[in-house]
């Protein structure tokens, strides 16, 4: 029979009386599937010899198929008619024959499951502990910077303030403006049913000032800045720059963490304030267009109906969110190993962790403020 190949055909002549199987043509990776199928269809018991004298080309795949057949036959099938090159190839393949090893089996028992579950919990707790340690490092270095101002990197702080603060203003302002518009639009549709359109001002003011302004700003900053921190510190870690700093007596905490986290601490409340103003502006604009509440009326209602405490309740969260984002970003950057995959993995980890932690912290704040009645 003939096995189709690209340009090369291979033919397998069935065993003659002496049990000799003759192959002719090219036995290569292109024809190996057919060759192997035919060889395995042969009765291995009756074959004593594989004759290669008519084989025009044999590659490792072909050699593999022949040797596999010989292994299967068990008794010594002779391979004859091979040129010295083919002989050498057969020997190389034989010597390199893979010895399958069983990978360590995965234990499926309940005990093993419990073990893995416990390890996960343990890893989670260790992660929290590591974050706390980084927070400690930051606070310690900050205190040190107060006592030894000469060690503090002011230029670096200003640079990071620009990166995390100034450059985030457009996106944060736009986001808050649109949220204000959406709130006004949705609120007016609902409140109109009760003829209570004017309360849309309270709705916008309270939700933006108390919650949305700062929370959404923190989420945007977490996405923007936590990833940037991780990428910057991580690539330094990857290229051993952090180790070089240490050997030169430069402390990564003082030089990398303090300027970054401090910049966030300063800038996040400011960004939150900008978000509040942009949100109120968007809400006021939409209320004017959609409900005919004039800017003057909006302002009056805002001042009368909304306690100033809402602003403080919102902005007091900003430093906490800033710490979370900064510490998570720096910590993730320091976990980067010496390969590019870990840099990518840690960067996305940092963003997910930072956003998740910010939302958890916001929930805790909500419960806290509700309990003390602000």
Partner 1 sequence: MTDREVVIKLRGIRNQFGRQVVHEDLDLDVYRGEILGVVGGSGTGKSVLLRTIAGLQKPAAGSVDVLGTDVLNADEDTRQKLENRWGVMFQDGALFSSLTVRENVEVPMRAIPGLDPQVRRDLADLKISMVGLQYLAGDKYPSELSGGMRKRAGLARALALDPDIVFLDEPTAGLDPIGAAAFDELIRDLCHSLGLTVFLVTHDLDTLHATCDRIAVLAERKVLVTGSMADMLEVAHPWVHEYFHGPRARAAVPDKPTKGD
Compute the least distance from the CB of residue 116 to partner 1, in Å.
20
Compute the least distance from the CB of residue 42 to partner 1, in Å.
17
Of 168-176, 210-218, 276-284, 338-346, which segment contacts partner 1 by CB under 8 A? Answer: 338-346
Residue ranges in 64-93 that form contacts with partner 1 under rule CB under 8 A: 64-65, 68, 85, 88-89, 91-93
Which residue lies nearer to partner 1 by CB, 99 or 150? Answer: 99
Q: Say which residue the tokens 């050997």 belong to.
A: 247
Strands (E) in the chain, as ranges, are 2-3, 10-13, 20-27, 49-58, 78-80
Which residue lies nearer to partner 1 by CB, 11 or 255? Answer: 11
331 binds partner 1 (CB under 8 A): no
Residue ranges in 15-74 that form contacts with partner 1 under rule CB under 8 A: 28-30, 32-34, 36, 59-61, 64-65, 68
Q: Say which residue the tokens 């594989």 belong to.
A: 50
Which residue lies nearer to partner 1 by CB, 88 or 190? Answer: 88
Nearest in space to 10 (alpha carbons), one of 29, 18, 19, 20: 29
Which residue lies nearer to partner 1 by CB, 65 or 274? Answer: 65
Neighbours of 215 (CB within 10 A): 22
How many residues lie near partner 1 (CB under 8 A)?
Answer: 30
Following DSSP, what letter does each residue of 30-86 receive, concatenated? Answer: TTHHHHHHHHHHS-TTT--EEEEEEEEEE-HHHHHHHHHHHHHH-S--EEES--HHH
Residue ranges in 92-131 that form contacts with partner 1 under rule CB under 8 A: 92-93, 96-101, 103
**Rounded-to-integer distance, Cα 85 and Cα 24, Å:** 17
Task: Tell which one of 339, 348, 363, 374 touches partner 1 (CB under 8 A).
Answer: 339
Structure tokens at 146: 């107060």
Secondary element (H or E) of residue 13 = strand 10-13
Structure tokens at 180: 């204000």
Structure tokens at 48: 């004593």
List of residues contacting partner 1 (CB under 8 A):
28-30, 32-34, 36, 59-61, 64-65, 68, 85, 88-89, 91-93, 96-101, 103, 339-342
């Amino acid at each position: 029979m003939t096995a189709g190949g690209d340009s090369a055909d291979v033919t397998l002549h069935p065993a003659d009386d002496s049990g000799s199987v003759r192959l002719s043509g090219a036995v290569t990776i292109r024809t190996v599937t057919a060759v192997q199928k035919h060889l395995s269809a042969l009765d291995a018991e009756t074959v004593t010899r594989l004759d290669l004298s008519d084989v025009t080309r044999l590659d490792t795949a072909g050699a593999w198929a022949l040797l596999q057949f010989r292994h299967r036959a068990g008794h010594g099938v002779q391979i004859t008619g091979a040129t010295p090159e083919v002989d050498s190839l057969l020997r190389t393949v034989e010597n390199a024959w893979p010895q399958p090893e069983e990978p360590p089996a995965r234990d499926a028992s309940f005990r093993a499951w419990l073990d893995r579950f416990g390890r996960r919990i343990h890893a989670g707790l260790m992660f929290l502990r590591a974050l706390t340690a980084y927070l400690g490092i930051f606070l310690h270095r900050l205190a040190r910077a107060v006592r030894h101002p000469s060690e503090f990197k002011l230029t670096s702080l200003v640079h990071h303030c620009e990166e995390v603060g100034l450059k985030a203003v457009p996106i944060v302002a736009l986001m808050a403006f649109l949220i204000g518009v959406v709130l006004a639009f949705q609120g007016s549709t609902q409140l109109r049913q009760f003829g209570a359109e004017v309360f849309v001002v309270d709705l916008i003011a309270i939700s933006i000032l108390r919650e949305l302004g700062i929370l959404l700003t923190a989420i945007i900053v977490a996405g923007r800045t936590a990833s940037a921190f991780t990428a910057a510190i991580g690539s330094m870690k990857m290229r051993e720059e952090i180790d070089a700093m240490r050997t030169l007596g430069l402390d990564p905490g003082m030089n990398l963490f303090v300027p970054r986290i401090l910049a966030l601490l300063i800038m996040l409340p400011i960004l939150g304030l900008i978000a509040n103003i942009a949100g109120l502006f968007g809400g006021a604009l939409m209320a004017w267009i959609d409900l005919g509440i004039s800017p003057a009326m909006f302002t009056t209602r805002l001042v009368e109906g909304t306690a100033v405490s809402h602003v403080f309740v919102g902005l007091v969260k900003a430093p906490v969110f800033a710490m979370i984002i900064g510490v998570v970003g720096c910590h993730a950057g320091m976990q980067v190993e010496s390969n590019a995959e870990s840099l990518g993995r840690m960067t996305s980890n940092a963003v997910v962790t930072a956003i998740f932690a910010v939302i958890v912290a916001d929930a805790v704040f909500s419960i806290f403020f509700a309990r003390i009645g602000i």
